[in-house]
């Protein structure tokens, strides 16, 4: 097969860096965009450029938004003394969809993972420390993932919060709604038992 | 190649494609191994989690294997607090220092034992130093903190040659110029204690820490260990908290 042009190769290379896109998928996407839907390719390029120009991190919570302060932080109806710490903007969307939380958020840029080169600075914990120093946070709700790295991130934040005397809680883990005990893995079940609540 | 019933720990994993994982494993039989794991969509299996002992099955001829079977053999070792960050440190050491497909059965056993004891309070530093020493020694990069049977020379000046990984002494008069990669002014009593892992001698652990760190940094060509920094930052936060709550 003839070699692809350097520009196409470069496009494939860029697409391969996206989550869930392997070499074959990247090749298919690139050739489809260029060969069959060039107008879509132009729209995609424009959308990317516009998003790059406009999207920034909220100065309060680090969520992605198009103004200095995001809509959630600017909303006076939300309880800013409650701060829910999550790993990504997707987590904010998930919690918002639940409708169960009316406080503020702090969006980390991932979770502590030394082997991925992610330490406290890389995930934005110094900014969280500034928020805690301001003294208007009364409760921290740690909603980092239930992985070893998510736990390490939560523990680090607990340690950061201790000198401020802030109440800290962690999202409960256990049986999903509608789930049957026999289908739940034993680790989740042991968490559910350890975190049981009195009736 | 198909190899089953392999004892393994996960050192690191990253997402691979939509549902798979690229995973770095420390195995009893093959040492460090890289593999791709695609969990079954039909049945839920164990989580691919660090600090958990697994029995696995590996397939494939190339350097990157396919991880087919994954069974957890015990409840996960739930690390918290300092132990958790120490666990990250152990994993980063193994991930960055161990070559692929070089079995180190003794080291594997030491790692498994250490993980199960990390959460037990006390002696964490000593355990870490001993593991570092064993790891370096297994890789042929061991430290000679005190030559066996050597006497202490009253008027000698003791130093550690990081490149050679051993203690050197200069006789009565220390050499005037500071050689690069040489840590000078070491106390022979502490060196001896560190060499025989006698941590009851005050200062022996601190000396071992400095020398191990220098040797590891040399082997890693100065590229920093992110987990070491994380552990340090976490411990510093603890110190801040203690200062701010007097009486504890």
A169 neighbors A141 (Cβ within 8 angstroms): yes
What is the rounded CA–CA span in Å between residue B143 and residue B31?
Answer: 22
Residues A89, A158, single domain; the answer is yes
Q: Is B21 on the interface with A (CB under 8 A)?
A: no
Examine residue A150 and state whether it is found in any structural domain, yes or no: yes
Contacts of A18 in chain B (CB under 8 A): none
Give the closest residue to A98 by CA, choosing from A66, A146, A62, A143: A143
Residue A94, domain extent: 76-170
Q: What secondary structure letter does DSSP report for B214?
A: H
| Domain identity same for A87 and A144 | yes
pLDDT in tens, B92-127: 999 999 999 999 999 999 999 999 898 887 789 999
Q: Average the pLDDT over A166-188 and give the result.
A: 85
B contacts of A185 (beta carbons < 8 Å): 44, 46-47
Q: Quick one: closest CA in A to B42, which residue?
A: A183
User: How sure is the predictor about A83, in pLDDT bands with cuts at 50, 70 and 90?
Assistant: very high
CA triple B34-B37-B42, angle to 5 deg: 170
What's the CATH code of the domain at A27?
A: 1.10.8.420
Indicate the SS3 state at residue A168.
strand
Half-sphere exposure at residue A78, Cβ-oriented, CA atoms within 13 angstroms: 19
A29, A98: one domain: no
**Bridge-partner residues for A39, per DSSP?**
none
For residues B27-35, average pLDDT: 96
Same domain, A80 and A153: yes
Q: Specify if A195 maps to a domain.
A: no
Task: Write the ipTM.
Answer: 0.87
- A89 shares a domain with A22: no
Residue that is written with structure tokens 């000698």 in the block: B156
H/E segment holding residue B133: helix B124-138
Domain B2-72 matching CATH 2.40.100.10: the answer reads no
Question: Which member of A22, A155, A187 has the closest CB to residue B76?
Answer: A187
- Give the tens place of pLDDT for each residue, A56-76: 999 999 999 999 999 999 999
Pair of tokens at residue B83 = 């132990």
Residues of chain B with Cβ-Cβ distance to A126 below 8 Å are none
Q: Are residues A132 and A166 in the same domain?
A: yes
In a domain, A66, yes or no: no
B232 touches chain A (CB under 8 A): no
Of residues B17 and B61, the one with the higher pLDDT is B61
For residues A126 and A164, membership in a common domain is answered with: yes
pLDDT in tens, A21-34: 888 899 999 999 99
Does B170 reach chain A within 8 Å, measured CB to CB? no
Nearest residue on chain A to B238, alpha-carbon basis? A159
B42-53: average pLDDT:
80
Burial class (CB in 10 A: 0-12, 13-18, 19+), A78: middle
Is A42 a domain residue? yes
- The span from the CA of B161 to the CA of B74, in Å, is 43
Q: Please count the structural domains in chain A.
A: 2
pLDDT tens digits, B164-182: 888 887 765 555 556 678 8
Residue B218's pLDDT band (cuts 50, 70, 90):
very high
Asked whether residue A129 is assigned to any structural domain, the reply reads yes
Q: Give the per-residue pLDDT at B181.
A: 83
A90 and A41 in one domain?
Answer: no
Average pLDDT rounded to a whole number, residues A117-133: 95
> Considering only alpha carbons, which residue of chain A is nearest residue B241?
A163
Contact list in A for residue B88 (CB cut-off 8 A) is 114-115, 152
Contact residues on chain B for A119, CB-CB shorter than 8 A: 226, 229-230, 233
């Amino acid at each position: 097969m003839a070699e692809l042009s350097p520009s196409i190769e470069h496009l494939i290379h860029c697409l391969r860096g996206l989550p869930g896109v392997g070499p074959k998928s990247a090749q298919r996407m690139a050739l489809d965009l260029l060969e069959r839907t060039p107008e879509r390719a132009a729209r995609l390029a424009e959308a990317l450029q516009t998003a790059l120009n406009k999207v920034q991190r909220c100065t309060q919570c680090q969520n992605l938004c198009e103004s200095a302060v995001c809509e959630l932080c600017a909303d006076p109806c939300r309880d800013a003394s409650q701060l829910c710490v999550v790993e990504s903007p997707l987590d904010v969307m998930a919690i918002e969809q639940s409708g169960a939380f009316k406080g503020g958020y702090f969006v980390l840029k991932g979770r502590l993972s030394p082997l991925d080169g992610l330490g406290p600075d890389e995930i934005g914990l110094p900014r969280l420390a500034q928020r805690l120093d301001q003294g208007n946070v009364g409760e921290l709700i740690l909603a980092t993932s239930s992985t070893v790295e998510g736990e390490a991130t939560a523990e680090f934040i607990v340690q950061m919060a201790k000198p401020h005397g802030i109440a800290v809680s962690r999202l409960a883990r256990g049986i999903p709604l509608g789930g049957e005990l026999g289908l739940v893995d034993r680790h989740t079940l042991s968490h559910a038992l350890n975190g049981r609540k009195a009736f | 190649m198909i190899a089953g019933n392999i004892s393994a720990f996960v050192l690191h994993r990253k997402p691979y494609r939509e549902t798979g994982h690229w995973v770095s494993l420390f195995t009893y039989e093959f040492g460090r191994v890289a593999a791709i794991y695609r969990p079954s969509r039909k049945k839920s299996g164990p989580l691919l989690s660090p600090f958990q002992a697994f029995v696995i099955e590996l397939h494939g001829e190339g350097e990157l294997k396919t991880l087919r079977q994954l069974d957890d053999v015990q409840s996960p070792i739930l690390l918290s607090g300092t132990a958790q960050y120490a666990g990250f440190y152990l994993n980063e050491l193994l991930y960055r220092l161990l070559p692929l497909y070089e079995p180190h059965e003794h080291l594997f056993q030491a790692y498994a034992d250490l993980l199960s004891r990390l959460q037990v309070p006390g002696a964490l530093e000593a355990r870490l130093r001993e593991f570092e020493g064993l790891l370096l020694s297994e890789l042929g990069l061991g430290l000679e903190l005190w030559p066996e049977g050597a006497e202490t020379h009253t008027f000698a000046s003791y130093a550690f040659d990081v490149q050679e990984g051993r203690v050197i002494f200069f006789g009565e008069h220390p050499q005037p110029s500071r050689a690069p990669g040489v840590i000078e002014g070491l106390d022979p009593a502490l060196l001896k204690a560190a060499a025989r892992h006698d941590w009851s001698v005050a200062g022996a652990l601190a000396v071992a820490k400095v020398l191990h760190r220098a040797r590891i940094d040399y082997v890693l060509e100065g590229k920093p260990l992110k987990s070491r920094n994380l552990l340090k930052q976490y411990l510093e936060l603890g110190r801040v908290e203690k200062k701010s709550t007097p009486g504890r």
